[in-house]
Structure 1
Amino acid sequence: MVNLKEYVLDWLGPDRVQAGIVEMAACGSEVIMVKLVGACLTLGRKLPDREHHVSMLMTRGELRLTLNGDRVGLFAPAYIDFIASNQWKNVTVEGNLEGYLLVVERNFFLETTSKLRSRISEKMMAYAKRPFVSLNSEEVVGLQGLSSSLFALMSAEKNGIFHRELVQSMLRACQCELWNIVFRQGESVEKAEEPYRLGEMVAHFLYLAHTYCCERHEVNWYCEQLGVSPNALTATLKRFYGKTARSIIDDLLITEAKVTLRNPELSVQDISDKFCFSDQSAFGKFFKRYCGMSPALFRREQEKGKQVDC
């Protein structure tokens, strides 16, 4: 299991820690939050991986980075999601930096935002390509207040049995406020009239897969939405992503299934229905093929606090 504190310190760069970190707060090994301050802090020594959701609220300073080959400059106040499907390079912050860096274990983040994601799918594709939000004075006050409360909650003595749930609720509130801002600022995303270039096809497929993997398991359905053949989609994904459409859909579905199996209020049959399998047996065979155990055994192992790698 990743030591989240060491991961974050390595990501920031140990030689710059004294210049950039004032305080750090954590919720177990699932969430860590860093209050940043300083000048010329260098980020990106170890870029975010697919096991963590990384974001930054920048209240002072300037962010400079290369995103998917394009050089970008962003002035505070702003919010940045370091979405791992993008290529981040040369990430630096200039000026007198102030803000919060948030790193959340992926399953915890998915569990926290499970109800929110279906409501933001309209904007996700466009946002994922350029995941920056410039903030006005009112917006930054709202996000800064919620972030400060989350930091204080994680810094407090953890003596309550519902501390994890409180952290989840506050993190969810931060995400809801962020997406309120995105929806207020954004315009409706119109479907492109010209054929997708290869990179756009990959981005659109990933958006569709993240949004619909629980209800649409068939590769052909995604091909119909994109207007391409299965062979063309597979060849493009393998070139850009190193995986087939089938494996990407299944990986996302397994991730969602593991998160949902942590909810004791849902039976395995409920989860099978939620993910649109023909019956519980079909869901069990699918899950066992990827995880080497049945959904029920996976749930029991999780309840015992055991780390299950699959």
Structure 2
Amino acid sequence: MKEYAFTKWLVPTLQADGTERDMVYNEQMGIFTVRGENQFQKGSIDTQHTVSLLVLKGEISIQTNDKRTVIPAPSYIEFIEPHQWSDLKTNRDFEGCLLITRREIFLQAAECIRSKVAAYVYRHVLEPFIPLEKQDLLRIQSHVDMLRHTLQQKENHFLLEMLENTLRSLILEVWNIILRMYKQENEFEHSFRWKDTLPRFLYLMHTNCRYHHTVKWYADQLYVSPDALSAKLKKLYGKTANQLISESLIEEAKVCLLNPANSVQDVAEKLCFSDQASFSKFFKRYCGMSPGQFKKQA
């Protein structure tokens, strides 16, 4: 994770105050302390992995698509696709913790609450910036510190399992704050802006990509044409509906393949492919390796 962090997110230098950067990482996850100004790479940033930022002090401003947002401390930011994130700028007083996790590990940890938060996901995607109260911050910090301590363990036969469980606790804590915030705003499922086509598409994709792979199905649910849906998504997010559905389906496939109990055939059936061969062809086209090879490497 260190190479990814310093080629895609952070500048590979000392902190703004001249001290060495505090960091701990392995192949699955990394936590990097960020202090001061000019600590992030310029231009667009990469979302190959799942990335979040705990803002402890100061403030950060972020460009998302055609909008610039300033987020003060304390807050928690999730860099969610399909936003196009760029030009992260921090002030002199800034301090935060950047958490980077392999996407399939994150999805596996979050699987337990998927059905409970599905109705709120697309609302969160619109503005994935979470202001924190003092007690919220303390609880989030405790989970991040636990992840940090776990990553520092060099010899642990259950390191991956411990990381996943601790990450799951962090995800549960974050979503508890999100749901509380929405309920305080009286933002229940049926009062959401269902007329907003793009957020509803993201909600449908998140909850149905395992079962429905075609743009037409989503367009039919939204009462728009497939071409119109893809054009709107391309304009806002830089990706067509088919690209977003395929990327989401690939992440689902990786989560299923990481489960030792699932064979490639099992995963093909879970994801509603006609047969194992068509699933393998789809997976290899996007990942450059067969599902079997992915299972062995994982």
SS in 2 for 1:85: coil
- The aligned counterpart of 1:26 is 25
Q: CA deviation at 1:113?
A: 1.8
Q: Is the 8 A contact 1:9 1:17 kept in 2?
A: no
Counterpart secondary structure, 1:174? helix
Single out whichever of 125-134 and 48-57 deviates more from structure 2: 48-57
Other-structure match for 1:148: 145
1:43-54 correspondence to structure 2 within 5 Å: 43-45=40-42, 47-54=44-51
Distance 2:137 2:63 in 1: 24
| Cα displacement (A) at 1:265 | 1.2
Instruction: Supply the AA of the counterpart residue of 1:51.
Output: Q
Residue 79 (structure 1) aligned with residue 76 (structure 2): yes
Structure 2 equivalent of residue 259 of structure 1: 255
Q: Is the 8 A contact 2:63 2:88 kept in 1?
A: yes
More off after superposition, 183-192 vs 129-138: 183-192
Partner of 1:175: 171
Match of 2:267 in 1: 271
Which runs of no fewer than 5 residues in structure 2 stay unpaired? none
TM-score, reference length from structure 1: 0.82
After superposition, the Cα gap between the structure-2 partners of 1:211 and 1:22, relative to the gap in structure 1 and judged at 3 Å, is same
Is the 1:53–1:109 contact (alpha carbons within 8 Å) kept by the matching residues of 2? Answer: yes
Does the 8 A contact of 1:41 with 1:92 survive in 2? yes
Structure number with the bigger relative contact order (C-alpha 8 A, sep ≥ 6) is: 2
- Note if 1:60 corresponds to 2:73: no
SS in 1 for 2:188: coil
3-state SS of paired residue (1:14):
coil
After TM superposition, list the pairs within 5 Å mapping 1:98-177 onto structure 2.
Answer: 98-156=95-153, 158-177=154-173
Contact 1:24–1:33 (CA under 8 A) maintained in structure 2:
yes
Q: In the alignment, is residue 289 of structure 1 matched against residue 286 of structure 2?
A: no
Letter in 2 for 1:172: R
Deviation at 1:63, TM superposition (A): 1.4
Change (3 A) 1:22 1:241: closer
1:266/1:99 Cα in 2 relative to 1: closer, same or farther (>3 Å)?
same
* Residue identity opposite 1:24 in structure 2: M
Q: Which moved more, 1:263-272 or 1:79-88?
A: 263-272
Question: Which of 270, 293, 296 is residue 301 of structure 1 equivalent to?
Answer: 293
Corresponding residue for 2:2? 5
Q: TM-score when scaled to structure 2? A: 0.85
Match of 2:33 in 1: 35
**SS of 2:52 mapped into structure 1:** strand
What residue ranges of structure 1 are gaps of 5+ in the alignment?
Answer: none
Cα–Cα, structure 1 residues 303 and 226, in superposed 2: closer, same or farther, change >3 Å? closer
Measure, in 1, the Cα distance between the counterparts of 2:272 and 2:210: 7
Paired position in structure 2 for 1:225: 221
- Aligned partners of 1:16 and 1:41 also within 8 Å: no
Distance 2:80 2:94 in 1: 21
Flag the 1:267–1:39 CA change in 2: closer, same or farther, 3 A: closer
- How many residues are paired up? 288
Query: Per-residue CA shift, 1:172-222, capped at 9, x if unaligned?
Result: 1111100000000112242436x54xxxx3443233212210122343331
Which residue of structure 2 aligns with residue 93 of structure 1?
90
Aligned to 2:188: 188
